[in-house]
Structures are given as C-alpha cells and as structure tokens.
Amino acid sequence: MPFTDPFVANPYPYSFAATLGATPNVPLEMVENFVSGVYTISWSGGGTLTAEFWNGSSYIGTATGTSSLTFNLAQAATKVIFWNTVGSVSVVIALTALAAAPVSGQLYTYSTSQTITITGSAYFVLVGAAGGSVTATGSSGAIVTGRVTLTGALPFVAGVAGTQGNVSGSVPATAGTASTFAGNTAPGGNPAVTSTPGAAVSPNGVAGVASGIGNTTASAATISGFPFLTMGTTGTGGTTGGGSGIGTGGVTPVVANSGGPASGFGASGGGAGPGAAAGNTGGASTGGVLYLLVFA
C-alpha cells in the first residue's frame, strides 16, 4: 500500500564523519558545507585532536583538545582540516545548534494621522497627546507598547495636544486627545485647572505639577519582556521639563511670564511663572506619536 513518510528532513546535515590514517599528525581535509552554528567534535581512539575551520582559503578558527570539543562557528565554512597525535581515529563533527542572527529593523516615526501602508512584523510604541497647562501643568500622554502585524492598511490617529489656558481662568486649558493604532489606545493627558495639575493617565503617564514647580517624567516605553526596546520617556512642564527621548516638558519661568513650550511628543508645556498677569498662559503642549520598529 502507498506509504507517506511523516517526517520532514532537516534542511542541514546533522553530522559529518571521517577516519584519520594510521600515521599520527597527518592532516585530513573534510570538504563540506558547514553552516554557522555550534559543533560538537568527538572521536574514538584517544590522542589530542586539532580541527581547523576554513572558508575557502580564509582561516576561521581552531578547536583542539583531548576529549570532546565544542566549537562556535560564527560564519559558514567550506572545509575542516584535522589531525590527531594518535593514528586510526574516527572523528564525528555534529551540528548541535544553529547560530541565532541579531534582530535588526527599520524605525519609522509618525506624528500625523494617516494610514500605515508598510507591511511586516513590528514592535510599536504609541504615545498620547499631553494636556494643556496654565499655572500648573497638564499631565503627559500615556504610553502603550506591543507587537503588531502590519497589513499595509492600518489607520493611525495621532493625538492632538491640549491647548493652554490663561492665568485668569477665562480661557481654560483642554485635555490632550488619545492616539490610536491597530486596536490600541494611548489616552491623552488631562489639563491643568489654573493652579491644579492635570491627573495622570494610564498606562505610563505622569501627573502635572502644581504651580509648574519641579518636574516629573513618564516611565520608559518598554514592551514587557523586551527591555531592549526602551525608547525613552516623556514628561510634564516644570522648573526643568521632565522627559527625554520621546518628549520633554516645557520650562516654567522664575519670573512673571507665560510658560515655555514642550518639545518632542506627549509632553506638557511649562506653567506660567509666579505673579504672571491674567493674560499669561501655560506653555504649548505636544501631540501624540507612533514609533514602529519593522523587522520582517
């Protein structure tokens, strides 16, 4: 009856074998395609074995010893030359692990609403817009991270920064709006109400500061389990603006004047300085952003 083999062949040869001649220290050349990876070299018959890996005429490295050897072949090789201090030795070179390639990718930054037309697999960092500042400062935008499969038609909505209010309260500050992407939402920051700071939003957002004094910084944007994707922070306005890498809050002046503007993304402006006039305002806050690290 027909028979279908249920096993799938390993795309790489598992091991290579050869036997050295009877005379000690006479090299034997094994010509094969050795992929990069970890190899175990074993033999029977004792002695000290030496194995040299070559790629054509370019030397790669040597493994030598009196018992089973492990050699990390960092690049492909086309041959191994080996010899032993004892003759008539049977040698087996076995591939025990494939080399892992480092992850690399292209970083994209989107700060305006649009359809993302690229395809592939990606990590993302999504930041909401910050709330507006007055004398106190608004809170920063939230930070959401994760993985996503890019279909070539995923809409991104960039959060719009909250507007600053004036000291008299006749023009109130407004909240920042959320940034959305691929079913994920990074809420916008809350506004300050004159001298009352904006409350923090979740996740990873930080509250504004009262009277604009001091500074706070949002948590780093890190995907859980993937600390290598830490991209920086964003924050709120203050004596020195909080945050770096994603956004930095505006500076609150020490004199009676309007607050300084934030920079980057998801950061609130500085508060108006002490004794500021009724018409003075908080500094301008910044909108949301989407970072995509596309690796496949």
15-98 maps to CATH 2.60.120.380: yes
pLDDT at 2: 41
6-15, 172-181, 213-222, range with greatest mean pLDDT:
172-181
Structure tokens, 86: 């004892």
**pLDDT band at residue 3 under the 50/70/90 scheme:** very low
Domain with CATH 2.60.120.380 in the chain: 15-98
Q: 227 by DSSP, 3-state: which?
A: helix
d(CA 37, CA 283): 56
- Which phi and psi angles does 72 have, rounded to 5°? -90, 105
pLDDT at 180: 98
pLDDT at 211: 79
pLDDT at 9 over 80: no
Q: 90 by DSSP, 3-state: which?
A: strand
Block residue for tokens 């080996």: 82
**pLDDT band at residue 58 under the 50/70/90 scheme:** very high
For residue 27, the Cα-to-chain-centroid distance in whole angstroms is 48
pLDDT at 163: 98
d(CA 73, CA 75): 6
d(CA 214, CA 161): 21
Alpha-carbon dihedral of residues 283, 138, 135, 239, nearest 10 degrees? -70
pTM: 0.72
Terminal Cα distance for the chain, rounded: 44
